[in-house]
Structure 1
Amino acid sequence: MRFKVRDRIFGIGDDYWIEDEDGRRAFLVDGKALRVRQTFELKTLDDQVAAVIRRKVVAIRDTMVVEREGERLASVHKKHLTLLRERFKVELADGSAWTVKGDIIDKEYEIESDEGRVARISRKWFRIRDTYAVDVDEGADVALVLSVAVCVDALTSDEDG
């Protein structure tokens, strides 16, 4: 299933819609203003919170955590050593991990598990500036994958200025 995301300059209080492949609103990324740390809620159309995304306050590496109903689903951080291209690691609550690799800045990357690709993120599918697609592979947790893409964007935006 493919979703369309418009690039944003991430900051406290940023809100934006993620649309499905037919252009219908699917999720709201609700940036929470007036919080001590950067926080987003990924909400469904019926205003249910599908995931909460928070920046960890104290961490050796800049890290964001994805939670659902108070339980940690994943933490996302940049890998220590990266050659040529940026890579992020997603540590899942069940002990497994995903790798985010490719051209993160230009939004041409994949999220992979040990079993194979989980999602592909690409700007090539759209001619609209500052828009990219998240193509979620069948069987993957859509809200978790979209949350990881939000984390990668927020962590990358911080480094760029």
Structure 2
Amino acid sequence: MARVIFQLLAIQLVLVATAFCMFKSSQKIKGGTKYQLQQKVLTLGTSYTIKDDRNQPAYKVGFKQLGVGKHLQLTDPSGKNEFYSIKHVLNPLGLAKYEIRQNNQVIADVSRKFNLIGGKKFSVSSKHGTYRIEGNFRSREFKIKKDHQLVATISKKFFAIGDKYGVKVEQGQDVPFILSLAIVVDEVAHD
């Protein structure tokens, strides 16, 4: 009897794993644009260079102002035109919370969710809609979903040396906003 139950459980496990793999393989970005996000190592504070898939500078990230909590800005390569700013909001529980701002108006709240099972999750409530970021800090692989649809992936697997991430963004998305979310994930990974 125990052997039959064990076999049924094994069959169920195989079926669930197969269904998961089929679902996971259908959740890939087929088009989209790739960006390379690289944190500059020899600078005071946090600074990033973001290059497009032709290895050309596309965006720049640096400190916006000094104060309590980090406050970064995402600009064009010249640093003159700000798309978004990213502010770390100190929180008494120690969980990561960030605000993404545009023209000094909060347009998104990013909160890290506590997860006992493993992996990391963030919820994003924004003027663009509700997003969910899931992934693993150890492997540095994350997925950004909007309404259960994959809109971007963040991956460190292509870069073994240095602090570089590949970010692939689905067509039709607000690229600077998605890159701001990727920067939040990287900031939390270094805390």
Q: TM-score, normalising length from structure 2?
A: 0.72
Structure 2 unmatched ranges of 5 or more = 1-32
- Structure 1 residues 71-105: Cα deviation after superposition (integer angstroms, max 9, x where no partner): 222111111334221111111135x3211112234
Alignment of 1:8-87 (within 5 A): 13-32=45-64, 34-46=66-78, 47-58=80-91, 61-87=95-121
CA change 1:52–1:85 in 2 (3 A) is same
Structure showing the higher helix proportion among its residues: 2
Three-state SS of the structure 2 residue aligned to 1:42 is strand
Q: CA RMSD in A?
A: 2.3
Count of equivalent residues: 156
SS of 1:149's partner is helix
- AA partner of residue 49 (structure 2): W
> Displacement of 1:33 after TM fit?
5.3
Q: Quick one: which amino acid aligns to residue 118 of structure 2?
A: L
Q: Could you tell me which residue of structure 1 aligns to residue 183 of structure 2?
A: 150
Q: Is 1:93 aligned to 2:123, yes or no?
A: no
Unmatched 5+ residue regions in structure 1? none
* Native 8 Å contact 2:60 2:74 kept in 1: yes
Residue number in structure 2 paired with 1:133: 166
- Using CA pairs under 8 Å that are at least 6 residues apart, name the structure with larger relative contact order, 1 or 2: 1
Distance in 2 (CA, whole Å) between partners of 1:12 and 1:105 is 25
Aligned ranges 1:96-135 → 2 under 5 Å:
96-135=129-168
Q: 1:36 to 1:84 in 2, by over 3 A?
A: closer
Whichever structure has more strand as a proportion of its residues is: 1
Rounded Cα–Cα distance in structure 2 between residues aligned with 1:77 and 1:91: 9
Query: Identity of paired residues, percent?
Result: 26
Determine which structure has more spread, i.e. the larger CA radius of gyration: 2
